[in-house]
Chains A and B, each alone.
Chain A
Amino acid sequence: MSALPLILQEIWHRKLDFLLGLLAVTITVALFVALLTMSGASDRETKRLMRDMGFNLLIVPKDTDMEDFWARDFAQEEMPEDYVHRLAGSGDIHADHYVAILQKKIEWRGRQILLTGWLPEVPSARRTREKSFMGLGVPPGRACVGYELARGLNIQRGDEIELHGKSLLVDAVLAEAGSKDDIRLYTHLHDAQEILNKPGKINMIRALGCLCGQGGRLWSIRPQIAEVLPDTRVTEFRSIAVARAETRRMVERQAVLILSTVAIACVIWVAVLSLLNVWERRQEIGILRALGAGSGKIAVLFLGRAVSVGLGGAVLGFIIGTGLALHFGPTIFKVTAAAIKPVYALMAQSLVAAPLVALLASLLPTVVAVTQDPAVTIMEE
């Protein structure tokens, strides 16, 4: 028999029951669709960001005590300047810029200053990008002076300064940075090596826009660098890409918890509604039997209703979930609004999953009702 008209008429007759079931399924599907749409967008955007920007890495000698490093602003240990060339020459790792740095906190004219010897970037294998880096290419014999330092010691552009026996021409006084840069004195790496009496030594390398040959996976860069420079350690600077990946992971972890709770509640909700529906219609089972319907046909009527709830909820849930993702995605996942697009594959998945779950939730009450002695229900008045 064609059950559809019967199912639809029953649904129309018990609209409220149907709407309640629909609501449960819609909420669940909407939440899943919203989360998956947003996190998919976030994932895509993060990948794109990683591809475009790469990672910013800080490479220091292996034995560096990082606690000490962050407290002092420089690594006590040193490594050969040659490391930066090795890194740049490696075919597996690509970066926009490599900067070899020798940095120490020293005493100068009664002040603590940060002396940073900066080797103008080493040309790397990959030089496709324009030179956007704020890289301070300080030529030998010149210095750039941080804002506070210059102000406190009354240094001006063009002044000649002397630093531990080395005289330097002040190339620039930097604008106020509101950071350690304000007490920094930049020189060419080789000048700093001379001043600090550490020829051929550096104590950190910064690699900006770093990618590895395998396509820019965060976790594969470290081992690759470790291969090229075994006695170093690598730290990632917090890049936008990393921060976003972390936001996503955090939101997802919470969402999984909330979602599974909601999903379980909704399955129970649908099951209870279905139980009530079957209970309300148990006499109908007797009537249908008296009219010659077998268990199979009766089950089709009752389960068909559950499937309709699932299908309706899937469609509505997809629309609402996608709407939610488009609306709230940029705030929750910190992605650009344009990155979030409807994921139509989720529509197909919802259309399969929601009716299936609704069906399973209704299965038990239906089976119980259908296998019950029909005469018993028909005699109940």
Chain B
Amino acid sequence: MVRLAHVTKVYRRGKEEVHALKCADLAIRQGEFVTVVGPSGSGKSTLLLTIGGMLHPTQGTVEVGGTDVYALSGRARAKFRAERIGFVFQMFHLLPYLTVLGNVLLPGLIAARKSQRQEALSLLEHFGLGDRTRHKPSELSTGQRQRAAMVRALMSHPALLLADEPTGNLDPENARVIMDYFGEFHQNGGTIVLVSHERLAGEYADRVATIEDGRVRE
């Protein structure tokens, strides 16, 4: 499902160079739940965004579902993301000016899909947000925010869910709730790549890889 071959990512700031990924190789099968664990600054977010077609690698190729992601044009890659990939971030990244329902409907709006209102409402209900649909993100608890972000990620029925420290800002209780939803997505056949600096996050995974100083190890 996901195949990274010799992926290198170098950030350049003026003359300074940061090698965030150093010849990373990673293969993930369809339906697999892989957690990548590593310390802060090891390149986890970089890895995830590279897989998600958001960050052009300096070298190497990234394949998702058999498609060479960075061989696509920017436009085609955006469409690819809209149809195949769901993102969940540590900071939720909900748009502050939209209601929960508005945020959840946003991917459909971007992809110009026909109204997913009913589906969105029932999914929000399922995530325990049935009575929060008209609220702004700022009016939600952090756990609720992450659940809303997760509903948003699921609205496009992605084959691949990419999660960057999804429980990083949550208390253990809320973290468990979120992880249960990931487990559910996985149970239904979804592929997940989750990165975290906590070893514990590996609990739900089929497989745990580690990343250290830009190098991925199984």
Chain A residues near B (Cβ < 8 Å):
1-2, 6, 9-10, 12-14, 283-284, 286-297, 373-375, 378-379, 381
What residues of A have a CB within 8 angstroms of the CB of B83 in the complex?
292
CA distance A13 to B93 in the complex (A): 16
CA distance A283 to B94 in the complex (A): 10
Q: Which of B40-73 contact A (CB under 8 A)?
A: 45-46, 49, 52, 54-56
| B97-A10 in contact (CB<8A) | yes
> Contacts A1-B112, A9-B98; is A378 near B49 (CB within 8 Å)?
yes
> Contacts A1-B109, A9-B102, A374-B54; is A292 near B93 (CB within 8 Å)?
no
> Contacts A13-B97, A378-B93, A379-B45; is A290 near B110 (CB within 8 Å)?
no
* Cβ-Cβ contact count across A and B, 8 Å cutoff: 77
| A292-B54 in contact (CB<8A) | no
| A289-B78 in contact (CB<8A) | yes
Q: List 10 A-B contacts (CB under 8 A).
A: A6-B98, A287-B95, A290-B81, A291-B106, A293-B78, A295-B75, A295-B78, A373-B56, A379-B45, A381-B91
What residues of A have a CB within 8 angstroms of the CB of B80 in the complex?
292
| A291-B81 in contact (CB<8A) | yes
| B75-A294 in contact (CB<8A) | yes
What are the nearest 10 A-B pairs in CB distance? A292-B82, A13-B97, A375-B55, A294-B78, A375-B49, A290-B87, A292-B81, A375-B54, A287-B93, A293-B110
| A14-B97 in contact (CB<8A) | yes
Which chain A residue lies CB-closest to B78? A294
| Min C-beta distance of A297 to chain B, whole Å | 6
| B91-A292 in contact (CB<8A) | no
What residues of A have a CB within 8 angstroms of the CB of B26 in the complex?
none
| A378-B54 in contact (CB<8A) | yes
Question: Size range of the interface on B?
Answer: 20 to 34
| Min C-beta distance of B127 to chain A, whole Å | 18
CA distance A295 to B52 in the complex (A): 16
Looking at A9, A373, A375, the one whose CB has the most chain B CB atoms below 10 A away is: A375
What residues of A have a CB within 8 angstroms of the CB of B98 in the complex?
6, 9
What residues of B have a CB within 8 angstroms of the CB of A284 in the complex?
95
What residues of A have a CB within 8 angstroms of the CB of B33 in the complex?
none
| Among candidates A9, A286, A289, residue contacting B97 with C-beta atoms closer than 8 Å | A9
B74: interface (CB < 8 Å): yes
B89: interface (CB < 8 Å): yes
CA distance A291 to B109 in the complex (A): 10
Which chain B residue lies CB-closest to A294? B78
CA distance A290 to B53 in the complex (A): 8
B176: interface (CB < 8 Å): no
B166: interface (CB < 8 Å): no
| A292-B109 in contact (CB<8A) | no
B156: interface (CB < 8 Å): yes
| B78-A292 in contact (CB<8A) | yes
| B110-A292 in contact (CB<8A) | yes
B140: interface (CB < 8 Å): no
> Contacts A291-B82, A378-B54; is A2 near B109 (CB within 8 Å)?
yes
A-B contact sample (15 more), CB < 8 A, given A2-B109, A6-B98, A291-B82? A1-B109, A1-B110, A290-B54, A292-B80, A292-B81, A292-B83, A293-B110, A295-B74, A295-B75, A295-B78, A373-B55, A374-B55, A375-B49, A378-B93, A381-B90
